[in-house]
Each structure stands twice: as C-alpha cells, then as structure tokens.
Structure 1
C-alpha cells in the first residue's frame, strides 16, 4: 500500500464527509450498486451523521442473479461479457439510478481475491461506473494489483468516493 492508500474505513471518513457535503450542496441523492465491496461504499457514507440527506439506498448485488433481479442487468449480458466488465458496471449504475430516488449512482464489480482471477482479469481488476440523470454514464477500469482482499476493497471504496465527488462537480 502507498501512503495514500486507506487502511480502514475510518481512514475514508474525511473523504466520505466531503462527498456528502458536495451532494447536499447540490441537493443531490446518491445510490450505490456494489458487488466486490459488499456494501462498504454505502457503509462509508452512512457512517457519517446526517448522511440520510444525501444517501438514498445501497444495492449489494454480489451474485449475478442479484444484479439481474435488483438492477435489471440482463443475464445475457453477464453471460456474454462476464460480471466483471465495463458493460456490466455501466448497466449496474444505470439500473441503480433508475430503480432509486437518486440523482447519481456508483457501481463497482471486480475481483478482490484471493482467488477468482484469470490472465484476462487478474485479482485486483475492478470496473466502476457512475450514472447521473441526464448525463452519459462514465466508466473507470482500475487495477489495484494483488495487494490483498482488504486493500483492494478499500482502494475500490476510495476510488468510488472520488468518482462520486468528481461527478457532482
């Protein structure tokens, strides 16, 4: 880990507070659609008092079935490109923003390890998307190296929070 890498969710509290302040200032609500982070992004935000003014909901869609049932990601898309892909991340974010009262949604799908990686999608591969009503959905492909499951998940949360902040401004 680098000096800027979070070691715990508590390390991300100042960033989460900044995200919430930005959302509140713009009178926006956020939703999360999380696979590899299992709710940590929403957890980082809702750990801050007053978060209900800016957090609508979090979808934890760890299984492919959950992605389909809760977010409307087509099962055929997952079968074609895999759950850890740009297209699925985009579909997750767009599904979250349309199935919530949020103005903005962030999604993450990735391989946190220690197993599950391949040559094409090694451990540490994460696809992130941000969907905002009235704007094109943005995608970010990250590779956090195989630095351990906890570190990959925390780095993903940090990147998601920064992505929300960037989308608000």
Structure 2
C-alpha cells in the first residue's frame, strides 16, 4: 500500500471523477473544497476548480492517494472557522475502515504543527463514530456539543504542543 497526500492536480481528473461518482451527487465530500458553483466534469471546469483551490489563502488542501486512486481529501484551514473547525476530511465509501483518515489526519496535524498552530479544532456529527475514533486517536478532546436542528455536532480540540515528540 502506497499512501500519499498530494496537492490537487488536473493530472488526476479521471481518477477524481471516479472517486466523486462513488460519493454520489451533492457536496458531501468533506476535505475537497467543492462549492455549488464548481463545474467538475469538463476539463476546463475541473481546471478552474483546481486553480481556485490553489489560490485559497490560509488553507492547505490535499488529496489522499493510495496506489494512484484518490481515496479522499483533507483540508486544513490555517485560521479557526467556528462552524467547521480547522480540519475537515472525507474518505470515499469503498475505502473507509482501513485507517486512511487516521493516517491522513496524523500527516495534516504534523503540517499544522510546522505552521505554528498550538492547537486545532475538528468537528463531526455526533453519530459519526468512525470520525470520532479517528479524532480521539490523535488526542482529540471533546469540548462541546452544538445542536443544529435535528443534528448534534461534536467539537474537539487537539493540542499540537507535543506533536514533534509523538509516535503517530
């Protein structure tokens, strides 16, 4: 198994479309930075989206690549977003349960530490046990629960102060 975090690239348009098709319609691919106005099917629309991602200020977006397959995405906002936290990620349905999110989160936490962030916030739906387990594996501490209609959202903080001494 060959895992990498890579910058979004037009070179992997076909591979990205394959991953996107597996998720199904909608904007639920956390970590990819898709907005409603993005047109992703055509080469020109895809290239425009990639250019927009590269131009985002104060953000690091990466694709999770395994053996040349895009298995997910992860985004680090360098400044706190109160609703979405610092980090968002998503793994395509067929790749879940294999430790990819845990690996990718560890990598992006190391990057956040090199940027000088003392701690980061992550959020997940209360019933997303896989994400809860991933966050807690990296030292996430549940600090509060937000209620948004019929959804409960857990907010976690991860302290990065000792990240350089971690064995993740």
TM-score, reference length from structure 2: 0.30
Larger Rg: 2
TM-score, reference length from structure 1: 0.30
- Tell me which protein shows more helix as a share of its residues: 1
| Higher RCO by CA contacts (8 Å cutoff, separation 6 or greater) | 1
